[in-house]
Structure 1
Amino acid sequence: MACTKAFVTLGMFIIDEFSYTDLEGRTIKDSTFEIGGGGTYAAIGARIWLPPEQVGMIVDKGYDFPSDIERKLKVYGEEMWLCRPQIQAQTTRALNLYTGDHRGFQYLTPRIRITPRDLINTGLNRPRMLHFICSPVRASTILSEVRDIEGWSPLTIYEPIPDRCVPKELPALIVILPSIDILSPNAEEALSLLSMSYVQPISKSSIEEAANQFLQLGAKEAVIIRSGGLGAYVLTRKAGGKWIGAFWTQADALKIVDVTGAGNSFLGGLGAGLHLANGDVYEAVLHATVSASFVIEQSGLPALTSSDKGLIQWNNDSPSRRLEVLKRREQNE
């Protein structure tokens, strides 16, 4: 009998195309393709800490699913991926268009959404933690489905989708907050939802105020506001607020190549950390921070390698080593 997964995401698998132009629309860099999708990055963020049999997500394989991408996914562990053949549909694809400093995003194919019911009677059934990325309205539907599945009460990690982090979505968010164990927008998304004005760089005090407001509005257990180079602000009902710094700082700018997927991988690492640290949110955020540090070092997913002696490394480094470095740094703050 298969073991219960520790962490499963309802986020999608996407083949990302990246296009780079200047402000006049001239191509400045050849287009590239990468494995993408918020779900994929979240799963990898958890996989950095957990064996593949404890992590899971659904991959919808369209009739055009590239064989080289399938090979790349298998490197991380075949047990992670529940592949569903979509004979009549393409694999979900999206365009990331970089024009100067502006990033645009659009789907190139219809999306195939994943719901909790899709997990029933599969190896992903009833995981201990469930991660989802969507609008507050869709999150309400997901939570309703979860309640309808007998004998399942997962810890929920909710990541609001960026384009729905606007003031008109706040009432729908307030409705679901009491059912969300961990709410985690990024700083811009948090302030936008709450109609809080800000200028860049966003101040720590503004982020702390936003987290307090979400808790007052009914967030169940914890609010974690991901704040880029500032790190993450963690506020829990039981233990109060605390800042945890980013692993790579401004002094390490050359290490930061592409932040695509950093927030998603952070939350995957958070789920893994909660599992490993018996629910300690602050300890889990340290794991989350390390997961994000590996993802931003390159375009696409980090490299997993293992030696003949069973030593597993990511980008030729050890997650445990980075965790110890981060812990020492936090203790000295």
Structure 2
Amino acid sequence: MSSVLYDVPGPRAVARNRVLGIVTVVVIVALLAFVIWRFAEAGQFTARKWELLSYTAVWAQIGEGLLATLRAFALAAVGSLVLGFALAIGRLSDHAWVRLPVAWITEILRAIPVLVAMMLLYYGLPVLGMRVSPYWAVVIGLVIYNGSVIAEAIRAGVASLPRGQSEAGYAVGLRKSGVMRLVLLPQAIRAMMPVIIAQLVVTLKDTALGFIITYPELLYIARQLGRNILYEAPIIPFTLVTGAIYILICMALSYVAYRVERGLKRSPKVQTANAAMAPGRVHEEGTDTQILAQQVDVDGSDRK
């Protein structure tokens, strides 16, 4: 018995996989137990180190850091998506004088580390007589890197679509802009949605780099509170709490992405497109055109 992608494992392989799975779980549990034991031996679980977390004022500061993180992430996420779409469309242009410069710009932006970009904006621009606040240095640094990565994801999604999709768009009278906007980009976005969401999660986590340029985000606040000598410098407790908050936010973002992806799959247009590109289906001449004509409402501005 075999599957489409691989042979179904036999009894020996199943038993071997179970043993490997059990061993892996045991090793991970042992490592976690060792880390917890070392923390306990170092006195990281004493009541004195965790006492600061019992004060309302401390949680208010953590809340302010969380809001600063979300403010930077919200604007950076929107900016990254806008820049990503702009760069992707430029890279897909038929004109070399547009495509080549955009390709170089995308590669350069993607090669610049986020932290380097933030430090150049915050510490480098004042040398030239221009000052940028920590907030804008964080946002711009996140946008230029993550936007270039999202652009490559969208471009790859468009390039992976069957050639018949664009040909069908031209057949029903769409221009290049109409084919891109109504046919290719929607399908590419649906296909690359997990990659785009994963990059937005990276954007959220990279806001923590802002503490290096004194942006008062969540990690910066935790670091400041963890330096309190009166409470034995509880840096580990505050780091654990901050990490838990980041995990919860990323899980919430992943859940939103899951709901969006399920909503897109339930769309009648998506089901029609999936049926059109199902494996084993024979695409006769005119079939793609008929299916596309059912999805796209062609108006006079999109016709040649």
TM tier, smaller = under 0.3
| Greater strand share, structure number | 1
Q: TM-score, normalised by structure 1?
A: 0.22
Higher relative contact order (CA 8 A, sep 6+): 2
Largest Rg, 1 or 2: 2
